Amino acid sequence: MAKNNDITMKDIYSFITENQYVYLTTTQDMQPKIRPMTLFFYKGIFYFVTFTNDAKVAQIKNNKLIEVLLPIKDQLNNQGYIKMSGKAKICTDADAKYEATYFCYFFDELYDGPDDPDFCLLECSFDAFEYFEPGTRHSVKVMS
């Protein structure tokens, strides 16, 4: 990985592809709500898989603004992160929902296919990225 002043969006996408476990933050009644999720990247778009009636779906319907945090470590076990700020929406695209069945490794354990009424696909677009390199003392904005 490049030093933090040389980080690129390609580096960010590489991290996400290798480390899908992230923390998604939404809001409810002016209160942040955070939970672990699995993020995947397909054809230039970020997605989450969740249940249709989950609280996060209602929260996103009320306020599309989200933040996602990907914790990272270096070889010396120093902590860092990638933070992404943007918006989420419910994705109804049939092709994207079908592809989620392949990119979400636990899909078959929870849902009966892409048309399962309990299955909700969240599409995310990010307009701000921040990188805190493990072992350093400050973060940098990454231009998208």
Single-letter amino acid, residue 17: T
Backbone conformation region of residue 44, classed left if phi is above 0, alpha if psi is from -120 to 50, else beta = left
- The length of the chain, given as a count of residues: 144
Domain chopping of the chain, boundaries: 4-142
Topology of the domain comprising 4-142: Pnp Oxidase; Chain A (2.30.110)
- Global pTM reads 0.85
Q: Is 8 exposed, middle or buried (0-12, 13-18, 19+ CB in 10 A)?
A: middle
DSSP string across 51-85: ETTSHHHHHHHH--EEEEEEEEE-TT--EEEEEEE
pLDDT in tens, the chain (144 residues): 445 457 777 777 777 777 778 999 999 998 999 999 988 888 888 999 999 999 999 999 999 999 999 998 888 888 889 999 999 999 999 999 998 888 888 889 999 999 999 999 999 999 999 988 888 887 877 766
